[in-house]
Amino acid sequence: MKHLRLVLILALVAAVAAACGGGGAPKSVPSDAVAVVGNDTISKDRFNEVLADAKRSYQATHKPFPKPGTPPYGTLRSQIIQLLVERSEYEQSAKDLGVKVSDKDVSDRLEQLKQQVFGATQPGQKPNSKAQIEKLYHQQLKAQGLTEKNVKDGLRVQLLRDKIAQKVTKDAKVSDDDAKKYYDDHKQQYEQPAQPASRDVRHILVKSHALALTVYKKLKTGGDFSKLALKYSTDSSKTTGGRLTVCKEKTVTCPLKTVAPFEKVAFSLKVNEISKPVHTQFGWHVIQALGPVNPPKKASTIPFDQVKAAIKQQQLQQKKQDAYNNWWNDTKKDFAKKTKYQVGYKPQATQTTTTG
Report the C-alpha gap between 163 and 216 in whole angstroms.
62
Mean per-residue pLDDT for 126-155? 91
Report the C-alpha gap between 32 and 291 in whole angstroms.
75
Report the C-alpha gap between 204 and 180 in whole angstroms.
49
Q: What is the mean pLDDT of the chain?
A: 88
Give the count of beta carbons closer than 10 Å to the beta carbon of residue 318.
Answer: 13
Task: Give the pLDDT of residue 98.
Answer: 96
pLDDT at 335 over 90: yes
Q: Give domain limits for the chain.
A: 2-172+314-341, 194-289
Task: Give the pLDDT of residue 27.
Answer: 57
Mean per-residue pLDDT for 244-272? 88
**pLDDT 10s digits, 193-211:** 888 899 999 999 999 999 9
Asked if 2-172+314-341 and 194-289 have one fold, the answer is: no
**pLDDT 10s digits, 154-167:** 999 999 999 999 99
At 121, the pLDDT band (50, 70, 90 cuts) reads confident
Task: Give the pLDDT of residue 146.
Answer: 86
**pLDDT 10s digits, 236-253:** 999 999 999 999 888 776
Mean per-residue pLDDT for 22-47? 84
Q: Could you tell me the pTM of the whole model? A: 0.66
Domain 2-172+314-341, CATH 1.10.4030.10 — does that match?
yes
For residues 197, 202, 208, 212, the Cα torsion angle rounded to the nearest 10 degrees is -120
At 3, the pLDDT band (50, 70, 90 cuts) reads very low
Task: Give the pLDDT of residue 354.
Answer: 35
**pLDDT 10s digits, 51-81:** 999 999 899 989 999 999 999 999 999 999 9
Of the ranges 7-21, 43-57, 87-101, 289-303, which one carries the lowest mean pLDDT score?
Answer: 7-21
Task: Give the pLDDT of residue 313.
Answer: 97
Mean per-residue pLDDT for 306-323? 97
Task: Give the pLDDT of residue 26.
Answer: 55
Task: Give the pLDDT of residue 349.
Answer: 58
Task: Give the pLDDT of residue 184.
Answer: 96
At 19, the pLDDT band (50, 70, 90 cuts) reads very low
Q: What percent of the chain has pLDDT over 90?
A: 76
Mean per-residue pLDDT for 343-350? 80
Task: Give the pLDDT of residue 22.
Answer: 37
Task: Give the pLDDT of residue 251.
Answer: 73
For the 194-289 domain, the top CATH level (class) is alpha beta
**pLDDT 10s digits, 283-311:** 999 999 999 999 998 989 999 999 999 99
Task: Give the pLDDT of residue 168.
Answer: 96
Task: Give the pLDDT of residue 249.
Answer: 84
Three-class secondary structure assignment of the chain: CHHHHHHHHHHHCCCCCEECCCCCCCCCCCCCEEEEECCEEEEHHHHHHHHHHHHHHHHHCCCCCCCCCCHHHHHHHHHHHHHHHHHHHHHHHHHHHCCCCCHHHHHHHHHHHHHHHHHCCCCCCCCCCHHHHHHHHHHHHHHHCCCHHHHHHHHHHHHHHHHHHHHHCCCCCCCHHHHHHHHHHCHHHHEECCECCEEEEEEEEECCHHHHHHHHHHHHCCCCHHHHHHHHCCCHHHHHCCEEEEECCCCCCCCCCCCHHHHHHHCCCCCCCECCCEEECCEEEEEEECCCCECCECCEECCHHHHHHHHHHHHHHHHHHHHHHHHHHHHHHHHHCCEEECCCCCCCCCCCCCCC
